[in-house]
Structure 1
Amino acid sequence: MNTPLLPAHDTEAKPRRAVLLGVGNILLSDEGVGVRLVERILDRQRLPAGVAVLDGGTCAMEMLEDLEHLDLLVIADCVRSGRTPGSVVVLRDDEVPAFFRTKLSPHQVGLADVLATLRFLGRAPRCTVVVGVEPQSLATGMSLSSAVRAALPLAEEALLDALAGGGCALAALQEAA
């Protein structure tokens, strides 16, 4: 079920500018799930005009310009929330600042600083959604754990729902015959 993220009184049916941001360190197993999720979407979906995809890596202030004045920001990340490994966590708008009160992601300091700076400058995204996956392992290695790999379809669906709810429905790429 897609819940609209943009206010009902909004006169535009589609955001003018949206970003799908994958963050994470792909050298630390499940820590790279945000980047892997974005890669998965790029392999399977056609992006509509106005939607940019960014590999935020371990995210820093250099991204300020890329994230200012967005209608929709959707972030894919590894999130430590104390849930079972592979659990998918979705946070929207007002829930996102609460996400930064507890250290759930290694990128929160960078993301918190970026979002706080944008808010201070009056350039914050109108809608922000974080889709996170609870890690099983943060050990050195480029492979995702079995629990996180199993969660990829559900996390991908949550990302697609967040984009569609913001007026950015993606279309599946045609399978090669």
Structure 2
Amino acid sequence: MRIVILGIGNILLTDEGVGVRVVEALAARGGLPPGVELIDGGTCGMEMLEQLENLDALIVVDCVRCGRPPATPVLLKGDDVPVFFRTKLSPHQVSLSDVLASLEFTGRAPRKTVIVGMQPVSMGLGLDLSSEVAARLPELVDLTLAEIAECVALPEAA
């Protein structure tokens, strides 16, 4: 079982860095199941192609602008994931979309992709999350852990 938790975002732009902050929190917490890899993707793009090949599951954690109240956790899976890539909900979608399209083209796409996100309060300059998003960061960590648990429970052959 290969599962990647990909935290993406720019930590110089307050809530834009929420995905990276979740990955940091998970790394500090420790105790993840075998086969689960944490990647701080920052604002990376195609250079991540090899790291995301042939995964059982990819859980992307990012700031997601989807018109919900500020600091609202967002979980997209199943049929909602393609909508994420058709609608500009995150500044990193274009790069991630290109990576996943390339993997699909080569037959190496993740079997399952989930988006865990947070509606931002602020995207201004600053190294810290807004107080509202910071207060709800544990919820985002818990949502990510729940998705990991669900992915680990997946049968090997889907």
TM-score w.r.t. length of structure 1:
0.83
Identify the residue that residue 66 of structure 2 maps to in structure 1: 81
Q: How much identity, in percent, do the aligned residues show?
A: 58
Deviations 1:94-145 (A, max 9, x none): 3211101111100000111111111111111001111000001110110100
Corresponding residue of 1:96 = 81
For residues 80 and 44 of structure 2, the distance between their equivalents in structure 1, rounded to whole angstroms, comes to 20
**CA apart distance, 1:59:** 2.4
Out of 149, 152, 155, which is 2:140 matched to? Answer: 155
CA 1:94 to 1:120, structure 2 compared with 1: closer, same or farther past 3 Å? farther
1:19 aligns with 2:14: no
Q: What SS is found at the alignment partner of 2:152?
A: coil
Higher helix share: 2
Q: Distance in 2 between matches of 1:76 and 1:67?
A: 14
Give the alignment's TM-score, normalised by structure 2: 0.93
**Greater mean deviation of Cα atoms: 158-167 or 38-47:** 38-47
Other-structure match for 1:113:
98
Question: Runs of at least 4 residues of structure 1 off by over 3 A?
Answer: none
Equivalent residues in 2 for 1:112-131 (5 A)? 112-131=97-116
* Partner SS state of residue 100, structure 1: helix
CA RMSD of aligned residues (A): 1.1
Amino acid at match of 1:18: I
Larger Rg: 1
- Quote how far apart the aligned CAs of 1:52 are: 1.1
Q: Which residue of 2 aligns with 1:164?
A: 149
User: Is 2:21 aligned against 1:33?
Assistant: no
Count of equivalent residues: 153
Q: What residue number does 1:10 align with?
A: none
SS of residue matched to 2:49: helix
Q: 1 CA distance for matches of 2:82 and 2:103? A: 13
Give the deviation of 1:147 after TM superposition: 1.4
Aligned pair 1:70/2:55, yes or no?
Answer: yes
For residue 45 of structure 1, report the CA deviation from its aligned partner: 2.8
Of residues 42, 47, 56 in structure 1, which corresponds to 2:41? 56
- Look up the SS of the partner of 1:137 in the other structure: coil
Provide, for residues 5-36 of structure 1, a one-character-per-residue CA deviation record: whole Å limited to 9, x for no partner.
xxxxxxxxxxx211111000000000000000
2:156 is matched with which residue? none
Amino acid at match of 1:104: L
Q: Match for residue 138 of structure 1?
A: 123
